[in-house]
Amino acid sequence: MCLKLQKGCGDCGYAIRPAVGRFLTCPVKEAKGEAAFEIFFARGRMGVLKSILEEKIPLSKDLAEFVYQCSECGNCNEVCHQTQNENIVLNTSKWIDHVEVWNALRKDLVEEGFAPLDKHAKLIEYMNNPDMRNPYGEEKAKKIEWFSEFSNVKDKGDLVFYAGCTYPLRQSITLKNMMKILQASGKEIAISRDEWCCGSVSLRIGDEKAVMENLNHNIEEFKKMGAKTLFTACAGCYRTLKKDYPELLGEELPFEVKHVTEILIDMLKNNEIPFKAEEGDLLKVTYHDPCHLGRHMDLYDIPREVIYKIPGIELIEMKRTRKNAWCCGAGGGVKSQFPELAIDIAKDRIMEAIETDAKVLLTSCPFCDTNLSDAIKEMGPEVQDKIQLMDIIDFIASKM
């Protein structure tokens, strides 16, 4: 697969470090510090790929250990492709997609039996276990516990919510807050009692085959429920459902897929969310673009529009934002296989958020949330006193 994709990288080195205003390129490279060999970032990887294609070095388990130390955030792709102006086009943007290349290499490693790595393999095993169907190894029934207290959740309907695995199993309070917001506006939703993991985990790892059963099951389930719109609060599920599913199927889905912020913005525009009256100074907040929402799906404006509409706050952007937002470090399977690396990357992002003088760091992805939160904990009370991390949903709920 990677044979087809690795064409035209000139090894220019753009994707290593900054062009002006891009403030560094690869979070893994920066986090690696004294061990930041070029194999950990784009140019070195492209060089290794060339050697593989020329049959000078083989695929191996050893290679996999390097390849999976990448959050697939896509910043290298942006730096390589971006002119920052539509009037000048870098033609490389038409045929090199770094993330696709990295992912193709992962697929090759899986196909040749050198991947998944041990912790990744466990995630996939859990995901495909009929008693679990989630990568956390939790019993299936546990995934639907969170909405047992909401009697108005329907079994069928036009608007179906896909909870995914991380929110219901690790951050169910956020989903409960979401229900509180939806209920306040009288919006009714349907939720499946038998949704399976979307398969994002195995797709990022490069095991495409492992996801097909989940994909087919989920689509049938949502069709049976009569879904016209399927929405999710998880950035990873959003990318998988909206981008990967149609690509894997080779056809459009029979329903539209939205991120929760796209639902929230409509509610906010219609004044359907009853906020508390705000007094005093504006609260400074900043927003971290999750890679799976931003660079991967181009969803930059709507989360910001949502934030702007929350009363009593001032949104201050971080230095690296939108297309060049610094990754939290959790993606691409890094959090599960290389947790220390993930936290090292996250620490950098936390410091950047603190530099804005914001008191609240908002995000809209449970993986970013978990990893940034772990970093804050590790950074200690001094940092914990300076900034509070919140999901946009929880933040809205706190203002109602």
Q: Does 357 bind another protein (CB under 8 A)?
A: no
Verify binding: residue 48, another protein, rule CB under 8 A: yes
Stretch that binds another protein, among 35-43, 168-176, 341-349, 386-394 (CB under 8 A): 35-43
**Window contacting another protein (CB under 8 A); options: 3-11, 129-137, 186-194, 248-256:** 3-11
Is 20 a residue that touches another protein (CB under 8 A)? yes
340 touching another protein, by CB under 8 A:
no
By the rule CB under 8 A, 8 interacts with another protein = yes
* Member of 27, 28, 31, 43 binding another protein (CB under 8 A): 43
Binding residue (CB under 8 A) for another protein from 35, 250, 277, 380: 35
Selected binder of another protein within 18, 246, 274, 311 (CB under 8 A): 18
For position 90 contacting another protein by CB under 8 A, the verdict is yes
Angstrom CA distances, 371 to 160, 167, 209, 309, 386, stand at 28, 14, 28, 27, 17
Contact status: 92 vs another protein (CB under 8 A): yes
Tell me how far, at minimum, the Cβ of 94 lies from another protein, in Å. 8
Figure out which of the listed residues 39, 283, 315, 316 binds another protein, where binding follows CB under 8 A: 39
Among positions 31, 68, 69, 88, the unique one binding another protein when judged by CB under 8 A: 88
Q: Looking at 26, 27, 28, 34, which residue binds another protein (CB under 8 A)?
A: 34
Task: Report the nearest approach of another protein to the CB of residue 37 (Å).
Answer: 5
Considering Cα of 99, then 237, then 108, then 61, what sign does the dihedral take? positive
Q: Mark 55-74 with x for binding to another protein (rule: CB under 8 A) and - for no binding.
A: xxx----xx--x--------
Candidate residues 27, 44, 236, 290; the one interacting with another protein per rule CB under 8 A: 44
Beta carbon of residue 80, minimum distance to another protein (angstroms, whole number): 9
Give the footprint of another protein on this chain (CB under 8 A): 3-4, 7-8, 10-14, 16-21, 23-24, 33-39, 43-45, 47-48, 50-51, 53-57, 62-63, 66, 83-92, 95-96
